Chain A
Amino acid sequence: MENEGQEKESEIVTEVNLKEDFQASGVADILAELDNSLIGLTPVKTRIKETASLLLVDKAREKLGLVNESPTLHMSFSGNPGTGKTTVALKMANLLFRLGYVRKGHLVTVTRDDLVGQYIGHTAPKTKEVLKKAMGGVLFIDEAYYLYRPENERDYGQEAIEILLQVMENNRDDLVVILAGYKDKMDKFFESNPGFRSRIAHHIDFPDYSNNELLEIAEVMVASMNYHFNEESKKAMAEYIKIRKKQPHFANARSIRNAIDRARLRQANRVFNNSEGPIGASFLSQIEDIDIRQSRVFSGGIDK
């Protein structure tokens, strides 16, 4: 009996079944979810799939005793606002959890304000508190470049960066840090903080959405709120996207969300003013083109 047990054990150690591991980890579900729930972002999806297979293979190699050091998982997401960085970070946290690289898989989202204190001695405890909260999961630092303010040499951001780097290096098994922000500012940030650059293994760029992708996103958003477009309002939305994209402060999917929220407001107003007698569910959830065309964007103004 004892010998049999030993034989089985040695079998497990000399062979791994990647397909089985893949199925068991539930990574396939997440990748499929990523594909279905996010529109566009093909380069991002490809990168994530590559990363997932790398991590899966690494885990298998670890089982066979081929690697003894845990890989660096810290990442940087760069791209314009509203391109889905936070959403992908959330999925990434789940992915790393399923692969067994983080223990809890929760996402803690912070900005400069949560890390940097206002007076001497305030920064270190604040940063440590956040880091502790993120342990076992993923720390997502939005607009990370604001941590470093070279124009003010007494800025406490540097202190936060030092603690961050130290924990990123020493507690690699405990948490994964994802830095996010605009591409050009992130590049500058990494240039002036080489420590970060070398500690981050995965740089992922988020491209802007095309007009068609934005329209698709609009439809998904509307459907998720239990509203729907008709032919005319869809056309109006497409035109809205075309015009809005050329205006300043365009924030991709976030701008679309805001536009839809305002369209819902106008729709509610219209329904309320025009309703006489009982109305059905389809009337209540129909967004007409007038609801969209009333937007200031069409008359040359700016929707925020």
Chain B
Amino acid sequence: MRVTQGTFSFLPDFTDQQIHEQVQYCIDNGWAVSIEYTDDPHPRNTYWEMWGHPMFDNPDAAAVVYELNECRKVYGSYYIRIIAFDSSPGWESIRLSFIVNRPSEEPGFKLSRTEVKGRNIQYSITPYSSDKPQGSRYK
């Protein structure tokens, strides 16, 4: 099951050229672009691991694409996303976030229903992949 998080997630995967153009749009708006990766695709997993610092002072998107490819070399089977931060409100707020790399196989999520007091039902979802320990989920 294809994970659809962030912007553009219902589109086909971007090529590097398309990523470059999106990132350049962010940079031209004055946003700091950052690369993050994870192997836990749970939708409530907000804070992914950072690949280096956010790139505050790179005027060209080539630097981000270069770093993305470096990240792919190490975590090619993980989810990798690009995040653009806008600091103009006085704090860093996310303006754009999109997935640029995903595992070749995405097993999807398990939905579990728990009956609680008053025959109410609590729903929770768990990625099938997170049964395995971190680091060995996607090969």
Contact = CB atoms under 8 A, between A and B. Distances in A.
Contacts of A104: 59-60
Interface in A86-112: 103-104, 106
Interface residues of B, number: 10
B59 A174 contact: no
A137 interface: yes
Contacts of A135: 58, 60, 62-63, 66
Chain A interface helix/strand/loop/mixed: loop
Nearest to B64: A132
A104 B55 CA distance: 17
A84 interface: no
B62 A133 contact: no
A136 B58 CA distance: 9
Contacts of B58: 132-133, 135
B59 A106 contact: yes
Contacts of A133: 57-59, 63
Shortest beta-carbon contacts, A-B, top 5: A136-B60, A132-B63, A135-B62, A174-B62, A135-B63
Contacts of B62: 103, 135-136, 171, 173-175
Contacts of A137: 59-60
Contacts of A174: 60, 62, 66
Contacts of B59: 104, 106, 133, 136-137
Q: Which of A104, A106, A131, A132 has the most CB of B within 10 A?
A: A132
Interface of B: 55, 57-63, 66-67
Contacts of B57: 133
Interface of A: 103-104, 106, 131-133, 135-137, 171, 173-175
5 contacts: A103-B62, A135-B58, A135-B66, A136-B59, A137-B59
A24 B55 CA distance: 34
Contacts of A103: 60, 62
A230 B60 CA distance: 48
Contacts of B67: 132
Nearest to B59: A104
A135 B55 CA distance: 12
Contacts of A173: 62
A131 B63 CA distance: 8
A21 B74 CA distance: 44
A169 to B, nearest CB: 13
A71 to B, nearest CB: 18
Nearest to A173: B62
Nearest to B63: A132
Nearest to A125: B52
A133 B60 CA distance: 8
B134 to A, nearest CB: 25
Contacts of B66: 132, 135, 171, 174
A212 to B, nearest CB: 40
A103 B66 CA distance: 15
A135 B65 CA distance: 11
Contacts of A136: 59-63
A55 B59 CA distance: 24
A59 B8 CA distance: 34
Nearest to A103: B60
Nearest to B57: A133
Residue of B57, B61, B62 most packed against chain A (CB within 10 A): B62
User: Which residue among B57, B58, B63 has the maximum number of chain A CB atoms within 10 Å of its CB?
Assistant: B63
A261 B88 CA distance: 40
B26 to A, nearest CB: 14
Contacts of B55: 132
B82 to A, nearest CB: 15
